[in-house]
């Protein structure tokens, strides 16, 4: 039986949390979904827009 590579590393989770703090947000934790994506959670539960979001994205989706 061989071991497979981890879907994420602890350094990746730490990097995501530090980026949220650097952006002025207050993360309450994180979770790893089955695909290996890191989801940062916030205490108030309000959705956050990505810092690199484009205002035209909302117009095109309407």
Contact 30, 39 (CB under 8 A): yes
Question: Would the pTM of this model clear 0.85, i.e. be above it?
Answer: no
User: How far from each other are the two terminal CA atoms of the chain, in whole angstroms?
Assistant: 50
pLDDT score, position 53: 63
Give residue-wise pLDDT tens across range 15-61: 999 998 998 888 888 888 888 888 888 877 665 655 566 677 767 77
Euclidean distance between CA atoms 6 and 46, whole angstroms: 30
Q: How confident is the model at residue 7 (pLDDT cuts 50, 70, 90)?
A: confident
pLDDT score, position 5: 80
pLDDT score, position 9: 87
Q: How far is CA 3 from the centre of its chain?
A: 26
């Amino acid at each position: 039986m061989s071991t497979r590579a981890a879907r994420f590393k602890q350094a990746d989770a730490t990097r995501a949390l530090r980026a949220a703090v650097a952006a002025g947000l207050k993360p309450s934790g994180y979770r790893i979904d089955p695909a290996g994506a890191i989801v940062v959670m916030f205490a108030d539960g309000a959705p956050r827009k990505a810092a690199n979001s484009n205002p035209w994205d909302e117009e095109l989706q309407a």
